[in-house]
Structure 1
Amino acid sequence: MKFEFVFLAILLRTVTASKWHVYPDPEYKVMACKAGLESVAAWCSGTSKSFKCACKNKPALGSWLNCVYNQTTKHDVFAAESQVIKYCDQVNVTLTHEKLKDAYANATNYLVDVSKDESFNKTKPINYPITFSKKAKKAYKGYYIGYKHRFGNVTTSHYLGIASLSMWGALLVIASALHWIGKLVPSAKKSLTGGLFNNYRKSIALAPTFSKTHLQASEKPWANGYFPTRFESIVLIIHFIYCVVACSVIGFTYTEGDKVFKNYMAGTSRYYGDRAGIILSYQLPLLFLFAGRNNFLQWMTGWQYNRFVTFHKWLARIIMMEVLIHSFAFVAQSDALGKTHSRLQAEYYRHGIVATVAGCLILPLAAYIVRKFAYEIFLFVHIVLVVMFTWTAYVHAESQHYENFYWACCGVWIFDRLVRFIRACVFGIRTAKATFLVDEATIKLTVPCSSYMKPFPGAHVFVQFLTPTTFWQSHPFTIVSSITDENHFHLYCKVKNGITKKLLQKFQATEGSEVNVKVLVEGFYGQQSPYHHYDKAVLIAGGNGISGPFSHALKLATSDSKTETKLFWQVREYSVLNWFGEELMQLKNTRVQPVIYVSNPNSTFDSVHYNSPSSSSSDNSDSDSGEKNTSSGEKTKDANDSHSSMLDKFGFIEFHQGRLNATEVVASEIRESVGSVAFGACGHPAMVDEVRVAVKNNLSGSSKRIEYFEEMQSW
């Protein structure tokens, strides 16, 4: 049983996270009668919104019942009486239907029409029941309309919030059903070919939102990581349109004569504020769930983590729009009611302001350019602001009895962190061996496995480097199992800014090719793509992206699968065979055909080593020119001999000079395939996008099932 199943209970709990009261029409009439009569006459000193006076004062109760019986039909009388009993019970007055009828009958003997009494003063308490006069009827109508609009809008808002959550639920259920049908009955999925299915996949499922750009957008500093796929964009656009319509169009209006909100601004601003606040409350738990690493929905739907992160980011933007609508609506209402100063003194109102400010700061400080160039700052600030937002929003919402939504958010977040902690503890602190691969500007980490958790093709882990300044950071890497030792796995980390740059500086300080570093590993995450269900698998990798595709290829090579497999790898130098040669040798004499494209054909098989930036050729400065030429000639000869020897050793690999043309490879492999074919890609974003688009473009007119699995994780 997976940890992630527990999330299902949390999500279902969200649907009923807040119990709101649905007002039936008789209740509106009961409330309007009480408020309308109290606006005409007083039976108790002082003013109060409670039902204490109306229930305990006999003349007030009689007047109230006279109005209720006059405004309800015979069909609604019992329901109206039940509402009166409920309200009186709240102020510790026990009534029954018989007692109400007796109180009404008694009151009818003493009813006074105060509109005919010129000496009547409505501010002075009276001790007799009054008739339901014309003035009282007008007040009643104003309150009836006001209550129905206000609380009816709340009810509608809850239904719209549930509908929003249900749409996401329906999408996830459909995606899960399709995923598991394909997983349990592979032949069913492979049979979905032809015009209708291929056109859908070509136009929506596999298509980037804009022409060819998906992952490649991450190369643009202004982009938000990458552009969503067209499918993701359609889902988000539909959700956005729904939220716009739900928050601004459906179900509320202001009517002149409203006695609850006595001017247009006070009424409509409250309607907008309640609507946006309630709808966003239903969506918030999804925001936390989609961002979690232990999201059970990944297992259900088969979607990658980066898809849920995409939904998380855009859902956050939409929710923040709703937060702003809610906040500005109540600012406008406070002004319209003249309550700005008094509300600023209220704790719930001030916490709401802080929550809004925290939410507004989260979005720009989570932009891709911040994550890329200042990840540590982003991570720390993001956690602090999210905690601040959640806490202050909880205090704000608690005043209106919406706090359970925030408990649901906390439950999802805490559970995800708990499972992450357990995963890390099971793995334990490990000593990883780090090797610097000069030609690839890459650090190779060799990490001992946990005896309880074993790697699998396509898996990735999150690593915390236990140094004083980086121990709290968690970085994702795709893994490849060690060939020489099944109790170890490798990570290939491209040297960039941040932790990899600090590791490089550690190499420079020691002037060695290897260093040991303490790490805490959290994993394994991800799912194994089902290439074995297809007649042919074509795995395309670029540079350090070889880890995932190679793991899948090796799994196919060592299993009973009859899948024809090709592994394409785009590299810069032949020297990659020095640090990945042992892995590639495992594919010799198997059904896997490795094909390597070398963009720098003049490179040689230099041994793996670390070059200190301070090293130079100054060692030859004392030699004469003849010695230098002899040395150079010998080195060239040795290099050529080494090159030929290595090519012989890797004779089972098909080498090509130049760059891999993914478009041509995809078209050729589909053309040569006698059955279904699955493509997988991991490497430079531009290359992965090219593979995706090439697969998409070759769907037209094909009778074969052509699948695409994106092995690259990017967020």
Structure 2
Amino acid sequence: MLFARLILLLAYLAPGSLAKPASTKKRTQWDQIAIDACAKELESHKFDTDVKGRHASLCTYEPALGSWLHCAKDVLDSRKKNRKIFEKTFSKINQYCHDYHKDEDVSNEEYYRILANASLFIRPLDEVKENIRYPVTPDKASLDRWVWAYFGPLDNIDKGNVYGVTICLYWIGVLFIAAVYHFLNFSRLKQTVFKNKVSAFLRGHYVLPALVHNHAMSVGRWFFIGLVPTRLETLVLFGYVLLHGFLLSSYNFDHNELLSDRRSQVLIFLSDRAGILAFAHFPLIVLFGGKNSTMTWLTGIRYTAFITYHKWLGRFMLIDCAIHAIGYTYHAYIENYWKYVKYSDLWTSGRHAMIIVGVLVFFSFFFFRRHYYELFVITHIILAIGFFHACWRHCYKLGWGEWIMACALFWIGDRFLRLIKIAIFGMPWAKLKLCGESMIEVRVSKSSKWWKAKAGQYIYLYFLKPKIFWQSHPFTVMDSLVEDGELVVVITVKNGLTKKLQEYLLQSDGYTEMRVLAEGPYGQSTRTHLFESLLFIAGGAGVPGPLSMAIKAGRQVKSNDAYQTIKFVWSVRNLELLEVYHKEIMVLKELNVDTKICFTGERKDESSVEEGAAANMNTEGRLLTTSKSAEIITDFGRPNIDEAIEDAVSGAKSLLVTCCGSEGFVDKTRELTAKKVLENGDKWIEYVEEFQNW
């Protein structure tokens, strides 16, 4: 199973990172370097000829041509290049000497004759006291300086290509390690290997916790808000940043400044390297930005983490693009060629790409994703297409187009898989019911026997109405306990899509039917049977995932007659939620799952409460409005999460904590679970967070 997953992982990633298509050619051609370096060195000395023109003496005066060939052969021999590479220098010489040969190229045999003749009479250059009349060997130190001057710029580009692949390999390594770690979830081997104090220290300090305190909850104020990665995500990103910084700052400068001064070298080398690294980010950005059901299955990495990597890769790609654009623009000004290139297609497309990617990253700020999600999605897609089109125009004559082609393959592959998922689900009718003022219950009849959703998975629902058919949001889905073949989704009304759905329902007296499409399911169901103790914690509308997983675990224990402690804790303040999930909670109790429902709503008037609810009155006199709701309430006030985790882990060798709820709720649970991991180094405590925010 592990081998199959890893092979599939490499096959899935290979098109964008390992392949070396012909569209990007290796620039370091030693035949060219040898010819150019030898020409520069030999032409700095005077041969006994008065012919004028570029390379005139080397092309027309046989002692000079013999010296040129002999010099090139020595350079190539010192680099252990073969005969075929040396023979390529003949065609280069023919190109340089075309005007002197009267449209007739010199044959390879003739060049070998000239070389052999030169070898009979060749002398060291330092023995020459006057105009050179015979073949000579140039000063090695001086020649090496010219070789290095020509080698450096070409090597900088080639290393940029290698370093671009290196960045991709870094992320493949991250995914590979995640895939191996994820594979261990399918057996108890993980608990055996990692159940020790060293593992507990690493997991408690670096794997589970948020970077500071918040991960799901945004930080900052007004426009300047964002999400903070977990410590593990931060470590992965930190390794990438270090690698990126090293790859961006390693060059072979010509300190003798034979071809260009130091400032020009820094500008061109840095600009070229940054531009190539920017292109290398493209397939990674598209890969991590897709729904990635295949990648999630292979690695176990949540969609939230993929989006975190997607955002940070995009930001560093923007930095690379800015370095590339500013560097070349400044170089054009100081070298006085800006007026000749500024309207060329190469520079125009580059400016367009730079402007588009800047706008794209700006409208990707969390402020827009949070408050104007539909606008963010539309602009993101349109700007991304415009950006890649501008990049294609910018580079299609230069190379590096394979990175954009890899992006297209990943994007098409992601969309193709999503269309397959939608097609399998079909286009069934859904029953929508308004529950109170802020809840919508959606019941969908499954029309395909091939479509299955596991506990804890989620789907993207498309409601086929004219104004909203193109919008979708992720919703946790669960099988109905009332009717077979029916899926239940409960939606909390916010802005955008859910607000428009509420308006439709209000116009239809709180109930309507419409056709829907479902994309998914996404996510994975946790292997609950591998743990001795299970704790499911839910807050408010985040109950579907933990609830469905608790029901599944309870049924497995009952059918297998196994020993397993299962606890379910739900903190809820919405009366409509209690009504919606009443049947499911009763099923939990029938399965002998230790169920604790903590009601945190406002104080209610005692006169409005039916008889039987008084048993659920706390000291402050808070009551439920119906006896039906009163049946499932067990406590008032916020649950003590720390105590719940401590009770669940005591007496057990392994514990699974599953949580979903509001941002602050899951952040607190994550922090407390990490603390318990440190306190119980001899036990295996796993944390699964169903909440996702990006």
Partner of 2:239 in structure 1? 238
Q: 1:81 aligns with which of 77, 86, 103?
A: 86
Q: Distance in 2 between matches of 1:7 and 1:232?
A: 20
Q: 2:522 aligns with which of 525, 529, 534?
A: 525
- 1:25 positional shift: 5.8
Are 1:680 and 2:683 counterparts? no
Q: Distance in 1 between matches of 2:550 and 2:184?
A: 24
Partner of 2:619 in structure 1? none
Map 1:285-434 onto structure 2 (within 5 A).
285-434=283-432
Identity level (%): 25
Q: Distance in 1 between matches of 2:512 and 2:425?
A: 21
1:243–1:70 distance in 2 versus 1, CA, 3 Å: closer
Q: Distance in 2 between matches of 1:69 and 1:43?
A: 26
Q: 1:68 aligns with which of 72, 78, 94?
A: 72
Q: Distance in 1 between matches of 2:624 and 2:500?
A: 36
1:534–1:57 distance in 2 versus 1, CA, 3 Å: farther
Q: 1:158 aligns with which of 158, 161, 167?
A: 161
1:501–1:652 distance in 2 versus 1, CA, 3 Å: closer
Q: Distance in 2 between matches of 1:488 and 1:85?
A: 76
Q: Distance in 2 between matches of 1:77 and 1:662?
A: 69
Q: Distance in 2 between matches of 1:446 and 1:418?
A: 27
- 1:341 positional shift: 2.1
Q: Secondary structure at the match of 1:493?
A: strand
Are 1:668 and 2:658 counterparts? no
Are 1:558 and 2:517 counterparts? no
Partner of 1:102 in structure 2? 113
Indicate conservation of the 8 Å contact 1:539/1:681, yes or no.
yes
Q: Secondary structure at the match of 1:159?
A: helix
- 1:36 positional shift: 5.1
Q: Secondary structure at the match of 1:490?
A: strand
Render the CA deviation track for 1:364-419: whole Å, top value 9, x for unaligned. 10111101111121111110111111111122222221111110111101110111
Task: Give the letter aligned to residue 550 of structure 2.
Answer: A
Q: Secondary structure at the match of 2:635?
A: strand
Partner of 1:694 in structure 2? 672
1:290–1:56 distance in 2 versus 1, CA, 3 Å: farther
Render the CA deviation track for 1:471-510: whole Å, top value 9, x for unaligned. 2222111112111222221111111110111112222323
1:360–1:646 distance in 2 versus 1, CA, 3 Å: closer
1:222–1:502 distance in 2 versus 1, CA, 3 Å: same
1:130–1:317 distance in 2 versus 1, CA, 3 Å: farther
Q: Secondary structure at the match of 1:436?
A: strand
Partner of 2:178 in structure 1? 175
Indicate conservation of the 8 Å contact 1:601/1:657, yes or no.
no
Q: Distance in 1 between matches of 2:188 and 2:517?
A: 38
Partner of 1:706 in structure 2? 685
Indicate conservation of the 8 Å contact 1:666/1:695, yes or no.
yes
Q: 1:144 aligns with which of 134, 143, 147?
A: 147
Q: Secondary structure at the match of 2:428?
A: strand
- 1:327 positional shift: 1.6
Tell which deviates more after alignment, 400-409 or 555-564. Answer: 555-564
Are 1:30 and 2:27 counterparts? no
Task: Give the letter aligned to residue 586 of structure 1.
Answer: V
- 1:237 positional shift: 1.5
Are 1:199 and 2:196 counterparts? no
Partner of 2:620 in structure 1? none
1:17–1:11 distance in 2 versus 1, CA, 3 Å: farther
Partner of 1:252 in structure 2? 252
Ranges in structure 2 where 5+ consecutive residues have no aligned partner: 617-622
Indicate conservation of the 8 Å contact 2:611/2:627, yes or no.
no
Render the CA deviation track for 1:221-275: whole Å, top value 9, x for unaligned. 5565521000101111221122122212x2332423322xx22222221110121
Q: Distance in 1 between matches of 2:685 and 2:335?
A: 63
1:367–1:305 distance in 2 versus 1, CA, 3 Å: same
1:497–1:714 distance in 2 versus 1, CA, 3 Å: same
- 1:575 positional shift: 4.7
Q: Distance in 2 between matches of 1:360 and 1:40?
A: 52
Indicate conservation of the 8 Å contact 2:613/2:630, yes or no.
no
- 1:37 positional shift: 5.3
- 1:70 positional shift: 5.9
Are 1:491 and 2:492 counterparts? no
Tell which deviates more after alignment, 422-431 or 688-697. Answer: 422-431
- 1:326 positional shift: 1.5
- 1:137 positional shift: 8.8
Q: Distance in 2 between matches of 1:8 and 1:216?
A: 34
Tell which deviates more after alignment, 676-685 or 221-230. Answer: 221-230
Are 1:188 and 2:193 counterparts? no
Q: Distance in 2 between matches of 1:129 and 1:430?
A: 92
- 1:158 positional shift: 2.8
Tell which deviates more after alignment, 376-385 or 262-271. Answer: 262-271
1:316–1:109 distance in 2 versus 1, CA, 3 Å: same
Indicate conservation of the 8 Å contact 1:433/1:516, yes or no.
yes
Indicate conservation of the 8 Å contact 2:71/2:137, yes or no.
no
Indicate conservation of the 8 Å contact 1:294/1:419, yes or no.
no
Q: 2:474 aligns with which of 473, 476, 479?
A: 476
Indicate conservation of the 8 Å contact 2:6/2:179, yes or no.
no
- 1:342 positional shift: 2.2
Q: Distance in 1 between matches of 2:237 and 2:426?
A: 39
Q: Distance in 2 between matches of 1:60 and 1:350?
A: 45
The alignment's C-alpha RMSD in Å is: 3.8
Task: Give the letter aligned to residue 111 of structure 2.
Answer: L
Q: Secondary structure at the match of 2:191?
A: helix
Render the CA deviation track for 1:506-561: whole Å, top value 9, x for unaligned. 22323x12112332211111100122210011000111111100110111122235
1:530–1:220 distance in 2 versus 1, CA, 3 Å: farther
Render the CA deviation track for 1:651-691: whole Å, top value 9, x for unaligned. 985600111222232223223x4331110000111111111
When normalised by structure 1's length, the TM-score is 0.83
1:224–1:56 distance in 2 versus 1, CA, 3 Å: farther
Task: Give the letter aligned to residue 587 of structure 1.
Answer: L
Tell which deviates more after alignment, 335-344 or 480-489. Answer: 335-344
Q: Secondary structure at the match of 1:588?
A: helix
Q: Distance in 2 between matches of 1:129 and 1:474?
A: 82
Indicate conservation of the 8 Å contact 2:598/2:637, yes or no.
yes
1:70–1:453 distance in 2 versus 1, CA, 3 Å: closer
Q: Distance in 2 between matches of 1:307 and 1:142?
A: 49
Q: Distance in 1 between matches of 2:133 and 2:489?
A: 85
- 1:206 positional shift: 0.6
1:190–1:38 distance in 2 versus 1, CA, 3 Å: same
1:86–1:78 distance in 2 versus 1, CA, 3 Å: farther
- 1:154 positional shift: 2.1
Partner of 1:549 in structure 2? 546
Q: Secondary structure at the match of 2:595?
A: strand
Task: Give the letter aligned to residue 175 of structure 1.
Answer: A
1:387–1:220 distance in 2 versus 1, CA, 3 Å: same
Indicate conservation of the 8 Å contact 1:323/1:356, yes or no.
yes
Indicate conservation of the 8 Å contact 2:531/2:655, yes or no.
yes
Q: Distance in 2 between matches of 1:690 and 1:96?
A: 79
Indicate conservation of the 8 Å contact 1:543/1:569, yes or no.
yes
Q: Distance in 2 between matches of 1:58 and 1:424?
A: 74
